[in-house]
Each structure stands twice: as structure tokens, then as C-alpha cells.
Amino acid sequence: MDLRQMEYLVALADERHFTRAAELIGISQSGLSAAIRSLEDELGTALFTRTTRRVEPTEAGFALLPYARMMLEQAAGARDAVVKASRAVSGSLSIGAEQCLGLVDVNSLLDRFHRRHPLVETMFTQCGSHDLLGMVRAGELDVAFVATDKRLSTLPHREIGREPLVVVTLPDHPLAARSSVQWDALGGQDFVDFGAAWGVRALNESVFAARGLRRRVRCTVNDVHTLLDLVARGLGIAVVPRHVAAKPQAAALRVLPLTEEDTPQWTVSVVSTAWDQADSPAAHLLELLPGADAAPSPAEPVRLPV
């Protein structure tokens, strides 16, 4: 057993889905499947049961999982200790993120960064993605984690991952009896949605406008848990990224997938102007991200009218 196999095991156990786990750790689905089969062959037992829709750890898989997590935590701690002893980084770091991004745990990332570089003063801002992009352009943020693929062309960025959108509603709502829902069925419904600066709000607005559908946003919020609470109180339905619908606060709600193949996906990216600043605190934060050695998408020059 090696650390890479343990990383794959944990990702698959957490996601319960080969495609999502492979996207999370940045390998192909076939590569992940082969690695898990190799580990099962080495141990002489199945670690997961596989169906066409879901993957579940077996009893042996659950038994191995805490040890796998411990191995990964110890390896990360060892690397952090070496970095802390060999590279004294100081200064300040300004970082921003939308709340509850799901595809990246910003709090965990900051915790690990602080253990590596305790001399760095960190300032963390949470607000909508479009506001965060403005702060990066103004030089107010070194790094931003945003949930949009719009307005990024003039900034160096790298996509972290994507998720589909789903509908959350009360179990007794007229839509709740369906196994899935089409966008057209959402026309004329009452909604709870995020503020205009949030990436998912802009995504929702663009989809409804493109389809010529009208909707009424009864409540606008700036907090994920408040949105779920208001949906549970019957103030409206909501279209949210899949991981939001998996939160404990949504346990009593009905979750409906959207069926159209052309439904846009919710995209999380990291944006920074510090990729080429090798000794900056921001660059040291970016190196902790999976696939950190991949080059960011280059910023496109801003073309001013002649």
C-alpha cells in the first residue's frame, strides 16, 4: 500500500462515485478504477461494492478508511514540518472565497498553510464571486476562490472542478413527486436565491433568460444555510450546486436533478496574480492545491476600443 492508493481510497469513499472522485484527484476514471482494483488484489478482498449508480465501501473498506486518512494526515504533517523548518516565509496574505464552495475546503487549506508558514498574517474575506474578482483586479486580494466561469479572461486562473445544478424544494411541493425536472417546469415558480454577486445567481439568471422563462425571487440571501432554511419554510424553491443539497440542513428537502443535457455546470476556479511570484505567501498557498504544478490559464489582454 502506498500514499497514492490511500488518496484514491479516501476520495472514492467520500464521493461514492468513480467519476466525481477521479475529477477530485485529477486522474482519469479508468486510472482510478485500475488503482482501486490493484489495491483490492494486493489485500485479497473487495473494498467497494459497485452498482451502475453508486459505489459503497465494503466492511473491509470501512475498516481500512481511518488508517488511510491517518496515513495521509501524517504524510501531510511531515511535509509541512519540513517546509516550516526549511523555508521561513513571512508577510501578509489576502484571500477571498464564496461561502461553502464544496469542491475546495478553504478553511482546511488555510489551516495547513498556517501550520507551514506561521509568520504570515492572513486576512480572509467571504463574499460573492463577482465582488471577489473585482477585489483581485483592484489588488485587494492575492488569491480568490470563485464560483463562476465568467469575467475570468483577464485574470490568471485555474479551474478546480465542476458540479451540476439541482433543484431543492419541500416534499409536498407540486414538483417534488417527479424523479427529475426540466427547466421549463420551473417557469413561474417562486424562488429563494443568492445575491447578484454570487456565481450561482448569475448562472440561474442566464439560464432563465436564455429559455425565455420568468421567475419570481421572493427572497435574496447571502448565506447558504439561510437559503436552505427559507426553502424548508416554504418561501420558494432553489436551484443550487449539488453539494449544497447534500448539506445536513437540506436533509428534509426533496432534491431533483435537472434533466437537460445543455444545463450549465457550476464551476469553481482559483484566481491569482501570484503564480509567477515564487517566494510570495500567495504562491506558497497555491502550491498546496491539487495539481499545483499545472500552469494557470493565461490572462487575455484587455482590448480597449480604438
Q: pLDDT tens across 68-122, in order?
A: 888 888 887 777 677 666 666 778 899 999 988 888 889 989 998 888 888 888 9
Kind of pairing between the strands at 91-97 and 120-126: parallel
Cα 207 from Cα 210, distance rounded (Å): 5
| Average pLDDT of the chain, as a whole number | 85
How far apart, in whole angstroms, are the C-alpha atoms of residue 199 and residue 149? 8
Q: Which residues contact residue 248 at a Cβ distance below 8 angstroms, ignoring those fewer than 6 apart?
A: none
CB atoms within 10 A of CB 30: 10
Fold agreement between 3-84 and 88-162+267-286: no
Q: What is the pTM of this model?
A: 0.69
Helix axes 18-25, 3-15, angle to 10 degrees: 130
DSSP letter string over 37-61?
Answer: HHHHHHHTS--EEE-SS-EEE-HHH
- Vertex 249, ends 64 and 219: CA angle to 5°? 145
Q: Which fold has domain 88-162+267-286?
A: D-Maltodextrin-Binding Protein; domain 2 (3.40.190)
φ and ψ of 290, to 5 deg: -55, 140
- CATH second-level architecture of 3-84? Orthogonal Bundle (1.10)
Domain ranges of the chain: 3-84, 88-162+267-286, 165-264
Q: How far apart are CA 86 and CA 89, in angstroms?
A: 10
pLDDT digits (tens, 9 = 90+) for 270-301: 999 887 777 788 988 998 887 655 556 655 43
- One-letter amino acid at 11 equals A
State pLDDT tens for residues 1-23. 888 888 888 888 888 888 878 87
Supply the pLDDT for residue 84. 61
Per residue in 116-150, pLDDT tens? 888 888 999 999 999 999 999 888 999 999 998 77
* Domain 165-264 bears CATH identifier 3.40.190.290: yes
CA distances from 204 to 118, 236, 241 (A): 40, 15, 11
Structural Rg of the chain based on CA atoms? 21
Q: What is the pLDDT of residues 186-198, one digit of tens each?
A: 999 999 999 999 9
DSSP-derived 3-state class of residue 161: strand
